[in-house]
C-alpha cells in the first residue's frame, strides 16, 4: 500500500466534490489537477483548497511581497511542490532568480519586506507564537494591520497546501530547468 493519498478516480468523486470541480471548469490552474483531485476525496478539503487559492488571489500585498511570503513559507516547510509553484508565480511577476533566492532565504533590502519576511519566518518556526517583537517592529514602521493579517493568511494557506502536497506525494510543477535555476540561485546566495 502506498504512503500517499492518490487522486480520487473520476467515477468515485463524491457528488459535492464533483459540483465544485464542475464549477471550476476551465478556471483550473495549470498543474493543479492532481492536488484538486486528491482533495476531492473530501468535499470539505476540496472547498478549503479552492477557498485558499481564492483568498491568495484577493491579497492586496504587492506581488513581490506576496510571492516572497509564500516562497519563504514553502522554503521553511521544505515543500518542493510549493517552492516550485511560487517560484513560477514569482517569475511570472517579473522577479529574477537572485531576488527569488533572497526571498526564499527571508532576505530583502526593503525594510518593510524584511520585517514581513521575518514575521513569516517567526510564524512558521514558532507556529504563531512569540511574534510580539516582530509585530511591534511592524507597527513602528507603520505597516497596516491588514498587511500583517494578509501575511498570516498566506502563511496558513501555503502551510495547508504543503501538508496536502506532502500526503499526496506531489512532485514540483515547474519544468526541471526552472526549478534547477532557482536551486542554483538559492545555493549561490545562501
Summarize pLDDT for 100-112 with one digit per residue, the tens. 999 999 999 999 9
Q: Which three cell numbers stand for residue 66?
A: 506576496
Q: Which three cell numbers stand for residue 100?
A: 527569488
- DSSP state at residue 173: -
pLDDT band at 185 (very low <50, low <70, confident <90, very high): very low
CA–CA dist 188, 190 (Å, integer): 6
List Cβ neighbours of 68 (8 Å cut-off, separation of 6 or more): 90, 103, 108, 113, 116, 117
Are 48 and 132 members of one domain? no
Mean pLDDT, residues 124-136 taken together: 82
Tell me, yes or no, whether 21 and 37 share the same domain: yes
Count how many domains the chain has. 2
Q: Is residue 3 part of a domain?
A: no
- 171 within domain boundaries: yes
Cell 517560484, residue located? 87
Residue 83 shares a structural domain with residue 149: yes
Q: Look at residue 29 and tell me whether its pLDDT is greater than 60.
A: no
Q: Flag whether 5 is in a domain.
A: no
Query: How many Å is the maximal CA-CA distance in the chain?
Result: 55
Helix (H, G, I), strand (E, B) or coil at 5: coil
Q: Are residues 76 and 38 part of one domain?
A: no
| pLDDT at residue 189 is higher than 50 | no
Q: Does residue 102 lie in a domain region? A: yes
Task: Give the pLDDT mean for 74-99.
Answer: 94
Look up the domain containing 80 and give its range.
63-189
Q: For position 27, what pLDDT does the model report? A: 59
Asked if residue 104 belongs to a domain, the reply is yes
Q: Does residue 33 lie in a domain region?
A: yes
Is residue 128 predicted with pLDDT exceeding 70? yes
As a residue count, the chain comes to 190
Query: Averaged over 165-178, what is the pLDDT?
Result: 68
pLDDT number for residue 34: 82
Amino acid at each position: 500500500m502506498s504512503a500517499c493519498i492518490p487522486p480520487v478516480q473520476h467515477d468515485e468523486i463524491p457528488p459535492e466534490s464533483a459540483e465544485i470541480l464542475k464549477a471550476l471548469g476551465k478556471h483550473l490552474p495549470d498543474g493543479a489537477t492532481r492536488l484538486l483531485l486528491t482533495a476531492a476525496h473530501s468535499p470539505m478539503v476540496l472547498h478549503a483548497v479552492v477557498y485558499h487559492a481564492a483568498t491568495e488571489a484577493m491579497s492586496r500585498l504587492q506581488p513581490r511581497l506576496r510571492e516572497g511570503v509564500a516562497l519563504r513559507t514553502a522554503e521553511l516547510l521544505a515543500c518542493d511542490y510549493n517552492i516550485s509553484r511560487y517560484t513560477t508565480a514569482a517569475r511570472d511577476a517579473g522577479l529574477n532568480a537572485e531576488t527569488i533566492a533572497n526571498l526564499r532565504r527571508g532576505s530583502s533590502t526593503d525594510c518593510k519586506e524584511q520585517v514581513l519576511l521575518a514575521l513569516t519566518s517567526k510564524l512558521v518556526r514558532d507556529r504563531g507564537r512569540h511574534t510580539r517583537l516582530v509585530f511591534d517592529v511592524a507597527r513602528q514602521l507603520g505597516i497596516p494591520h491588514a498587511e500583517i493579517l494578509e501575511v498570516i493568511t498566506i502563511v496558513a494557506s501555503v502551510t495547508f497546501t504543503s501538508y496536502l502536497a506532502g500526503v499526496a506525494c506531489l512532485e514540483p510543477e515547474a519544468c526541471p530547468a526552472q526549478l534547477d535555476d532557482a536551486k542554483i540561485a538559492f545555493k549561490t546566495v545562501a
